[in-house]
Amino acid sequence: CNLGQAASMVETRRTQVERSATTRKVLIGAAVDSLVEHGWAATTTVEVCRRTGLTRGAVVHHFPSLPSLLASALEAVYDDLIRTVVREPATLVDAIDVTWACIGDRRFKAVIESWLAAANDRALAREIGPVVANFAKLVSPDGALRALTLNADARLLYLTAREAMLGLALGRALSAGRALPHEEAVLDELRARAADVDGAPR
């Protein structure tokens, strides 16, 4: 009987942990979607509750503050991009494609929103700063791209390409997530220039 009760308690605990993890995932998903669709200012606890059908108490139980929920939402985006998009590129052309796969992802709008919000709010910057810094590392020539950008020309080309792609991502964010008519022309030009650098002696 005691063994049966113990097994039942373990099963109950495991089920509670699973339910809690599922609730956290739902809340994080709603926060990401709200950030992408409506921006930082409109992503409130009330909006997350509306999207999930959960109470404010349920949100606070899992996340002590809205910034902590938003930091977790950004972490989820970062982890998913790392898992599904980011890989070590072999050439500068490949580096541009890998970087655009990250920056051009619709969820990157959440990152742009967080950069702007953190720049204007010191308390928020402390809360989400470490997460936002991870995104900067994703597209840094000093990270995984270091071997490709030791050459000064390669480094300059990559930094130029990255800034152009961030500009495209910002343009998308301002256009309700729609691709810009000139995106492919810009990306083709960046790839062509990268191909020239890739072909040059190092």
The pTM score is 0.79
Q: Is 44 left (phi over 0), alpha (psi -120 to 50) or beta?
A: beta
In tens, the pLDDT along 142-180 reads 765 676 766 888 888 999 999 999 999 999 988 888 889
* Residue 133 vs residue 142, higher pLDDT: 133
Which of 27, 139, 104, 117 minimizes the C-alpha distance to 73? Answer: 27
Question: How confident is the model at residue 140, as a pLDDT?
Answer: 75
Per-residue pLDDT tens digits for 77-131: 988 888 887 778 888 899 899 899 989 999 999 888 888 888 888 888 888 888 8
Q: Is the pLDDT of residue 6 over 60?
A: no
